Chain A
Amino acid sequence: MNEKLEPALRLKGIVKTFPGVRALDGVDFEVMPGEVHALLGENGAGKSTLMKVLAGMYQPDEGQIIIAGQPVRMTTPIEAKAQGVVLIHQELSLVPEMSAAENIYLGELPLKSFGRVDWTTLYERSNAILERLNCNFRGEVTVVNLSIANQQMVEIARALTVDARVVVFDEPTASLTDAEKVVLFEIINDLKARGVGIVYISHRMDEIFTLSDRITVLRDGSYRGTLTTADTNEDEVTRLMIGRSLDLSRDTATPTLGETVLEVRNLTCAPLYRDISFSVRAGEVVGFYGLVGAGRTEIAETLFGLRSADSGEILIDGEKVQIGSPPDAIALGISLVPENRKEQGLVLSMNCRDNMTLPQVQNLASGPFVSSSAENEIFDKYREKLEIKTPSWRQTVRVLSGGNQQKIVIGKWLSMQPRVLIVDEPTRGIDVGSKSEIHALLRALAAQGYAVIVISSEMPEVLRVSDRIVAMYNGRIMREFTADLVTEDSLVQAISGIKATEVA
């Protein structure tokens, strides 16, 4: 890197406090033009706060923001954008009922006289941007009709409306398929080649090591150091992040398998999935691996009674069962930890204990009232068992970290004493430290005799936790692997729709 270059963006000694919390404590950060600088840290380490300071959504209490050598003060996202700083949000912040073009130019629509919108220019410019992104849709489409991945593309297109100096990507790949990721990485490299500084926030180590030039690590709101990617490795980064090394080895103890608990025969729900057959035994973890949209979540929803299949059979302990609703599933001992814990798993405004006892509160009544002591007993038991970190059961779950929130959801279902535990994307949006805890937890649960199904889009995760892996592609099961026979290559081929025979 050229030493004489002025950083595109520099943050000096940024301090930001919220009532009772010092969210950022003297953080330094800089991005050179044409550099991808990854920002890493566990959830709650202050990454998002830092980015919001950068985007003008928060005002820092102390410290300076320097853009191209000039100290600036930014009070709104539009101002930040005018300075050439663009933030691409982790959670989509689009107006669903508006067109893609309007969303791209939201807040700065091209105008004609008397404040009328210049639609011709708007569509022309936005279509040009979408073309550059290789998008197969046009600016006239209403956003609500686009897939999540395409909505993400619209979000990215927003960054390209101005001559950006710095673009911040906050977990951009969370909802993208592998193919779309490739496009995204091309865009990032293209921006980089044109001298734009990129800030890249992600939990995925593989992405960070392929993309970034430098890595800065935050922990508990303070700056932990900057590493040059080429000279470091995952272990060093992890140690900076969580203060210790991670044990990444797989729990190799041979599981003692019990009887077959759940069996599925020829389950079909066109067009989502067809002809699905598999079984899970007590003490076993079966991983479902595939791309987003391969039909894995839909199978889980069917098993949990949220969706009904067209045909096929579900057997529990060898007996055919009908699952018409979640209460039916719960009565049969099937539990589902859903994909999106904030939207589907938790009532964020409720406290920890109430969330955990949600499905069984009707069984805890003494007389007309809910028994507080029975609830506390359950909560204390699973807080201890799952090592949930919360000051008190009265804590609203909204303020807990992602890992602890996920443990509350898992605790909720464990306390129901299920036979089959289905976990959909158990570590999405969770930092590496908590991730390995959750993996260990899933292994431990299987060892205690639960039949566990893990649905995941992350290959390392599936490889680490599963005894068997079911690979899905486009609504069908392509292959089934046992843990000792699976290879990354064969797994990738299976989920890309290449049959085993063609490979051989």
Chain B
Amino acid sequence: MSNLTDITPLRWLMRNPIWGFVLLVFIFFSLMSDHFFDYRNFQNILVQTSTIGLIALGMTLVMINGNIDLSVGATLALAAAFAVDVQSWAMFATWGNWQILPAVCLALLVGLLMGAINGFIVWKTGVDAFIVTLGAMLGIRGLVFVYTGESSFYAMNFAYSDFSALSVGPLPVLAVIFLVCTLIVHLVLSRTVHGRNTYAVGGNREAAVNAGIRVGPHMMVNFMIIGFLAALSGVLLSTQMGAATPNLGRDYELWVITAVVLGGTKLTGGKGDIIGTLGGVLAIGILRNGMNLMQVPAFYVYVILGSILIAVLFLDKRFNRTEDGGLRL
């Protein structure tokens, strides 16, 4: 076994191939496009990444825990609809800009609640999370259409849509929110008891039970975290657009899972981290942004991303094969 304490940059990249890839596409687009290597463009990438990135943070927890959540796109749409609609309710008409506060709180609460329901069902029924959240994905999307009556809501309060244009120092506020959340979730996962137990439950559920860990509550907490983050992502997305459409967040679950898996999190649970996930979402963000700047038609981006997903996982298997003794299966 190699010495674990001496971690050279090269070895670190071997363990986290996605960051090598991020570096590669970064250099590639910097050389290929005149507009890419630009501070304003970096801000753009961070803002564009934040939507999927926030959900990916939660997905990392849920997947390390041995579950998956397919309902995030629908939850995002529902939360966005609440956030935009509630602020124009008659009861808040006299609140001025404060009317945004109850709207956003309610939207986040809805996300938390959807996550709690998912988690509770997975915990109590023992039905596979894939199935439970597949059902939730359909059901919540249905609720969105019922609630919005198939039409879009527009934010009447301009303070709401101006929010996304704010900056904190040199960084756009959306990027700051994303980076702060990344740091918090990273600390939760790597340093807290809940994070540790999340790994244990995903790595070997039976051993976790035998160690006296209450498996269900940990799963529920993780579903609530991802629900909250999906809702937050929905709120931020609706501030960018000044509106909420019923089809908002469609296919987002696929982008999110792609980013998380690119970041080295195992579908079977027990392995992964936030640093990898950050690399995964940045890889997707940089690729979309750079190809956009090079005026590659949008659908080629899908083709390329799909190929890269498979290639990265293949490389990961090659580099990190020693764990199972190099057995050819």
* Interface, chain A (partner B; CB < 8 A): 18-21, 49, 52, 57-58, 304, 306, 325-327, 329-330, 336, 338, 343-350, 354, 358-359, 361-362, 364-365, 368-370, 391-392, 394-396, 398-399, 412
Asked, given contacts A358-B211, A365-B192, A391-B1, whether A343 binds B328 with beta carbons under 8 Å apart, the answer is no
Contact: A395 with B1, CB < 8 Å?
yes
A interface: dominant SS: mixed
Is B208's CB within 8 Å of the partner chain A? yes
Query: Residue of B at shortest CB range from A21?
Result: B1
**Smallest CB separation, A455 vs chain B (Å):** 15
Asked, given contacts A347-B204, A399-B1, whether A370 binds B213 with beta carbons under 8 Å apart, the answer is no
Contact: A392 with B5, CB < 8 Å?
yes
What CA separation (Å) do A364 and B214 show in the bound complex? 17
What CA separation (Å) do A364 and B325 show in the bound complex? 34
A-B pairs under 8 A by CB, number = 103
Instruction: Give the chain B neighbours of A347 by CB distance below 8 A.
Output: 199-200, 203-204, 207-208, 270
**Smallest CB separation, B47 vs chain A (Å):** 29
**Smallest CB separation, A301 vs chain B (Å):** 10
Contact: B197 with A395, CB < 8 Å?
no
Which residue from B5, B196, B270 sits with its C-beta under 8 Å from A370?
B196
What CA separation (Å) do A365 and B188 show in the bound complex? 12
Contact: A354 with B213, CB < 8 Å?
no
Instruction: Give the chain B neighbours of A364 by CB distance below 8 A.
Output: 193
Instruction: Give the chain B neighbours of A370 by CB distance below 8 A.
Output: 191-193, 196
Contact: A343 with B206, CB < 8 Å?
yes
In the complex, given contacts A347-B199, A349-B271, what are 4 additional A-B residue pairs having Cβ atoms less than 8 angstroms apart?
A: A330-B212, A349-B199, A349-B270, A358-B196
Contact: B191 with A369, CB < 8 Å?
yes
Contact: A20 with B193, CB < 8 Å?
no
Q: 10 pairs across A/B with beta carbons < 8 Å?
A: A19-B322, A306-B210, A329-B212, A338-B210, A350-B270, A358-B213, A359-B211, A361-B193, A369-B187, A394-B4
Contact: B212 with A326, CB < 8 Å?
yes
Is B27's CB within 8 Å of the partner chain A? no
* Interface, chain B (partner A; CB < 8 A): 1-5, 187, 191-193, 196-197, 199-200, 203-204, 206-214, 270-271, 322-323, 325-328
Instruction: Give the chain A neighbours of B200 by CB distance below 8 A.
Output: 347, 350, 354, 358
Contact: A361 with B325, CB < 8 Å?
no
Counting from the closest, the 7 A-B pairs by CB-CB distance are: A347-B203, A369-B191, A359-B211, A358-B211, A326-B212, A347-B204, A327-B212
**Smallest CB separation, B99 vs chain A (Å):** 34
Contact: A346 with B207, CB < 8 Å?
yes
What CA separation (Å) do A412 and B204 show in the bound complex? 16
Asked, given contacts A347-B208, A391-B4, whether A396 binds B323 with beta carbons under 8 Å apart, the answer is yes
Contact: A344 with B322, CB < 8 Å?
no
Instruction: Give the chain B neighbours of A343 by CB distance below 8 A.
Output: 204, 206-207
Instruction: Give the chain B neighbours of A349 by CB distance below 8 A.
Output: 199, 203-204, 270-271
What CA separation (Å) do A350 and B323 show in the bound complex? 12
Instruction: Give the chain A neighbours of B204 by CB distance below 8 A.
Output: 343, 346-349
What CA separation (Å) do A370 and B308 show in the bound complex? 37
Instruction: Give the chain B neighbours of A336 by CB distance below 8 A.
Output: 210
Contact: A358 with B193, CB < 8 Å?
no
Query: Residue of A at shortest CB range from B205?
Result: A347
Instruction: Give the chain B neighbours of A21 by CB distance below 8 A.
Output: 1
What CA separation (Å) do A18 and B328 show in the bound complex? 13
Asked, given contacts A18-B325, A57-B327, A327-B212, whether A354 binds B196 with beta carbons under 8 Å apart, the answer is yes
Instruction: Give the chain B neighbours of A412 by CB distance below 8 A.
Output: 211
Asked, given contacts A350-B199, A362-B193, whether A327 binds B325 with beta carbons under 8 Å apart, the answer is no
What CA separation (Å) do A18 and B326 show in the bound complex? 8
Instruction: Give the chain B neighbours of A19 by CB distance below 8 A.
Output: 2, 322, 326
Contact: A359 with B322, CB < 8 Å?
no
Instruction: Give the chain A neighbours of B207 by CB distance below 8 A.
Output: 343-347, 358
Contact: A348 with B203, CB < 8 Å?
yes
Contact: A18 with B327, CB < 8 Å?
no
Instruction: Give the chain B neighbours of A365 by CB distance below 8 A.
Output: 192-193
What CA separation (Å) do A370 and B192 show in the bound complex? 5
What CA separation (Å) do A287 and B208 show in the bound complex? 26
**Smallest CB separation, A164 vs chain B (Å):** 23
Which residue from A57, A346, A348, A359 sits with its C-beta under 8 Å from B328?
A57
**Smallest CB separation, A205 vs chain B (Å):** 27
Most buried by A among B4, B200, B211, B328: B211
Instruction: Give the chain A neighbours of B199 by CB distance below 8 A.
Output: 347, 349-350, 354
Which residue from A20, A368, A391 sits with its C-beta under 8 Å from B192?
A368
Instruction: Give the chain B neighbours of A338 by CB distance below 8 A.
Output: 210
**Smallest CB separation, B235 vs chain A (Å):** 25
**Smallest CB separation, A338 vs chain B (Å):** 6
Instruction: Give the chain A neighbours of B2 by CB distance below 8 A.
Output: 19-20
Query: Residue of B at shortest CB range from A305?
Result: B212
Contact: B323 with A398, CB < 8 Å?
yes
What CA separation (Å) do A378 and B17 show in the bound complex? 34
Contact: A369 with B203, CB < 8 Å?
no
Instruction: Give the chain A neighbours of B206 by CB distance below 8 A.
Output: 343-344
What CA separation (Å) do A21 and B2 show in the bound complex? 9
Most buried by A among B5, B214, B323, B325: B325
Instruction: Give the chain A neighbours of B4 by CB distance below 8 A.
Output: 391-392, 394-395
Query: Residue of A at shortest CB range from B203?
Result: A347
**Smallest CB separation, A166 vs chain B (Å):** 21
Which residue from A326, A394, A399 sits with its C-beta under 8 Å from B5?
A394
**Smallest CB separation, B308 vs chain A (Å):** 25
What CA separation (Å) do A433 and B196 show in the bound complex? 34
Instruction: Give the chain B neighbours of A346 by CB distance below 8 A.
Output: 204, 207
**Smallest CB separation, A389 vs chain B (Å):** 12
What CA separation (Å) do A394 and B209 show in the bound complex? 23
Most buried by A among B2, B206, B210, B323: B210
Most buried by B among A58, A343, A358, A412: A358
What CA separation (Å) do A20 and B322 show in the bound complex? 10
Contact: A306 with B325, CB < 8 Å?
no
Instruction: Give the chain B neighbours of A359 by CB distance below 8 A.
Output: 211-213
Contact: A344 with B210, CB < 8 Å?
yes
What CA separation (Å) do A391 and B6 show in the bound complex? 13
**Smallest CB separation, B204 vs chain A (Å):** 4
Contact: A327 with B214, CB < 8 Å?
yes
Query: Residue of A at shortest CB range from B325?
Result: A18
What CA separation (Å) do A167 and B3 show in the bound complex? 39
What CA separation (Å) do A398 and B191 show in the bound complex? 22
What CA separation (Å) do A345 and B5 show in the bound complex? 26
Query: Residue of B at shortest CB range from A357?
Result: B196
Instruction: Give the chain B neighbours of A354 by CB distance below 8 A.
Output: 196, 199-200
**Smallest CB separation, B202 vs chain A (Å):** 9
